[in-house]
Amino acid sequence: MITTTRAAVTSNIGYTFELLLYALIAGLLYLVGKRFYMHQKRDAIRLQGPPSTPFIGNLLDISKMMGKNGGLLYRVHEEWKRLYGKTYGFFVGPRLFVIFEKLEDVHEILVKQFSNFTDRQPMDFIHESLRYALVNQRGNKWRHQRSRISPAFTTRKLRAMTAPVAAKTAILSESLESYADCDEEFDILRAFQCLTLDVIAQVAFDLPSSCQADPNDIFLAHASRFFQEMPNPENCPPMAISLLFPELAPFCEFFHRKTSDSGRSEAWLIHKLRAGIVRRIEHPEPDRIDLISLLLPQNTTGIDEQTIDTVVANCFAFLLAGYETTSTSLSFATWLLAKNQETQDKLHEELKGIDLKSENVFDIVMKLPYLNGVFKESLRLFPPITFFVNRTCVNPTTVGSVELERGTVVCVPVWNIHRDPTIWAEPDAFRPERFDTPHHPMAWLPFGGGPRNCVGARFAEMEFKMTLARVFSDYRLKLATDSKELNVLNPSVMLAPERVCVTVERRR
């Protein structure tokens, strides 16, 4: 009897194992078949592009081309444009990306046919803390959340947020005094990073911060570590695996978050942010104007966890969008102004007599024409995000002569458009006055375009202009010897200078 039972158990185990083996083989065959099918799509729509393999796609090509071009992603798309024109397709793992650079096609995607391109590209390897953020929402969920967040950035709300930004820029200006006294070279990129983080700590995190005064500030330490170790496929194997096998992305992201220093810093930042939100719910401050108060419902009685998660996610996304991109944009603008002294003098002349302590400073600064030209021209030459204006096709449609299936990712190469000589005369020249005359609405896209553009674009513009107004009304900046040529980093979608070393003189 016992022998018979054991035989039956052994037989069942063997049968179960056999079923699992068949299921595994079937799953692998399905994946292989799906990969080959996906890679036939480009040929089916007669789209040019670099040769690819079903599992790797063009990832190896991208890596090799970046290795030959200083690790710059935008160089890859410059080269492919030269080879295949302004419309072509390439693969990242199994996923087809179609580049559209003609402005009429870009307008079609971002504006005219927006209903067919409502969603951003799938972000498989995404931090858990961002899953409820606006940037990751699709369809009706995006529309609902966008309608709730957009009122946080109306002109009236931005005027109210100008005071803390002005206070933080005043601290920056005071810190530059010490460098003016000793004629010492210093990296202003670091100063701008401390400034933008100081602003976000107050405006989004409701945290007391001394990022500009204390280089050992714990908030600064965790935010810096998080950004310095932000993953890209070149330095993060779990992310590379998730690009090849999107099905495994949640497991790869979880492993990376739990084992990396950036993951631990993220956990610290999220904990502090959640604590600030809970504190605000328990002790409301009706007169306070910051992102938390603007995103929380007016009546916080009985607020549910998902609402709190959504506020946490969007405040954290504000950190990601507002810290690195704004500080790098300010650094690029400073480099351009320090390199072009005549342009810097024109800006200073416009800023003469402006009272940066005035209650109306928002309206004054936002309407200065030459400052606006500097803002736009700096972001044209050095857009902080070079490859994030991407959309997923949600309905079959045609753009130009290309027939697109549902699920295809379409991409707008911002760097290429901003440097296109057929759109911009002398595209590599720094000429703020070029924005005195109108341009095609799709020719300038540092914040994207159409209904799904960057929701915080006007806040970023306000912070940028307030900072430049403060710095260049008080000081003349000159480039240090090692920064007369700019070393640009573009390992993924973000663009940044390695450093911008300057000297400071007081304006008399």
Cα gap 316→53, rounded to integer Å? 37
Residue 111's Cα: distance from chain center in Å? 21
Plot region of 426 (φ>0 → left; ψ -120 to 50 → alpha; else → beta): left
The bridge status of strand 409-411 relative to strand 95-100 is parallel
- Beta-carbon contacts of 211 under 8 Å, excluding residues fewer than 6 positions away, are 194, 195, 197, 198, 201, 217, 219, 220
Strand partners, 89: 98
Cα gap 393→421, rounded to integer Å? 29
The residue type of 388 is F
- 187 neighbors 328 (Cβ within 8 angstroms): no
Cα gap 491→489, rounded to integer Å? 6
| 119-156 as b/e: b if 16+ CB within 10 A | bbbbebbbbbbbebbbbbbeeeebeebeeebeebbeee
Cα gap 124→292, rounded to integer Å? 27
Residue 393 known to bind ligand: no
Q: Which two tokens stand for residue 20?
A: 């699992």
Q: Which two tokens stand for residue 11?
A: 């037989």
SS (H, E, C) 446-457: ECECHHHCCCCH
Return binding residues for heme: 454
Q: State the binding site.
A: 454
